[in-house]
Amino acid sequence: MGLKTLLTTHIGAADSHTLNHYRSVGGYESQKKALTEMTAEQIVNDVKNSGLRGRGGAGFPTGNKWGFIPKTDKPKYLICNGDEGEPGTFKDRLLIEKFPHMLIEGMVIAAKAIDSHQGYIYIRGEFHKGIRIVEAAVEEAYKAGLLGKNILGLGYDFDLAVYSGAGAYICGEESALINSLEGRRGHPRLKPPFPAVSGLYACPTVVNNVETFCNVPHIIRMTGEEYKKIGTEKSPGTRLFAVSGHVKKPGIYEVEMGTPMKELIYDICGGIKNDGTLKAVIPGGSSSPILTAEEAMTATMDYESIASLKSMLGSGAVIILSESADLVETTYRLAEFYSHESCGQCTPCREGTHWVKDLLHKIKIGEGTEKDVELIFSLSRNMEGGTTICPLADACVMAVRPTMTKFKGEFSARLKKEVSISH
């Protein structure tokens, strides 16, 4: 366990984003293998055998998602979700800027697996540098015959376009992203039907995250069975973690799944800034429930371990909080984010995130009361559990309620009267 480079093996090369460099280290060999030696079913089965799970949030098995695409004469679409907008999350940005050809190769292989001939890379609008780099990489790939009609003379066609979002966090939700691609408001869709059946232009569609696609060439090169030997049985492979907050060496680290969180914080990231004491960890982006220091020291960086602590790996953002952290301020800032990013389509989310944010502001400035705390918990119960079309309201609840419960003393101390929170 610990540091293990797979996706980031050549991170030190200044020209890692170019076609020449990528080919010099074996790039596009997996694409050639997939197009010449493997059927669509063999590609899907290899990815299933690898145990690869989505690296964007929910961790759904990638091969299973591809296998849901029906056999139909309708066009099938392939979409890369590069919208990365969750607070603390910045690992896909690295892949976009450093390894765009790895992403393109992974998408071509996935395209054959689902019989898709048109793909889109949807990138967060603020990633100006990344958008330019990916557009240049796509152009290089077209000129080299790696995209377009009759790829490498092997009889497979696949076109790829880059689409810039407008900076809406909600477009990280796959159906809202699809609406945005169609030129509509970025509003999530009711499900079913799911995108695999009726997605972009009402056709079968697969949406995967940047890091997910970047794993695919490595799986095809080494085979799914070999890939599965990395990490843990139920959480194979490596994972990129964007570590920020009160650590001595924040940054993006590729580690083997199952690595102890303690090792990530103290050995890999150098420990707590200013030799402070760990207070808490947000393990998978702002929507993943906070862990106490005691919980963090028992956790390993895999889906099952974090789920057993009633949290999740989510977007791969690990936010480290020392004893100097003001968790009332932190919680308010996160609630403010979700209030701002709600698309407003569902009443429990539109109104609930707004009220939670305002009530937390009252508590933050010392004007809150026990009734305000009770109201936050009451609102939370009405915002979660399927009351909205997408999970944004649930994400707000997960960013707020666990922190108020586990660190209730900090919130009680900010109320008008020194009372405890009985939850």
Question: pLDDT per residue over 131-172, tens digit each?
Answer: 999 999 999 999 999 999 999 999 999 999 999 998 899 999
| pTM, to two decimals | 0.95
Q: Could you report the per-residue pLDDT of 132-142, keeping only the tens digit for each?
A: 999 999 999 99
For 33-79, write each residue's pLDDT tens digit: 999 999 999 999 999 999 999 998 888 999 999 999 999 999 999 99
Flag whether pLDDT at 420 surpasses 60.
Answer: no
- Looking at residue 422, its pLDDT comes to 58
Mapping DSSP to helix (H, G, I), strand (E, B) and coil, where does residue 345 land?
A: coil
Rounded to the nearest integer, the mean pLDDT of the chain is 96
Helices (DSSP H) in 144-203: which residue ranges? Answer: 174-181
CA distances from 241 to 42, 140, 215, 237, 274 (A): 30, 29, 15, 13, 22
SS3 27: coil
Give percent of the chain with pLDDT exceeding 70.
98
**pLDDT reported for residue 421:** 58
Q: What angle do CA 172, 3, 250 make, to 5 degrees?
A: 60
What pLDDT shows up at residue 58?
Answer: 81
pLDDT at site 423: 57
Q: Give the separation between CA 37 and CA 154, rounded to whole angstroms.
A: 11
| Residues 130/96, Cβ–Cβ less than 8 Å | yes
Render pLDDT for 179-198 as a digit per residue (tens, 0 to 9): 999 999 999 999 999 999 99
Q: What is the pLDDT of residues 222-261, one digit of tens each?
A: 999 999 999 999 999 999 999 999 999 999 999 999 999 9
Question: What's the alpha-carbon Rg for the chain, to the nearest Å?
Answer: 22
Q: CA-to-CA distance for 161 and 174, rounded, in angstroms? A: 17
The pLDDT, as a whole number, for residue 272 is 98
The total of other beta-carbon atoms located within 10 Å of residue 222's CB is 17
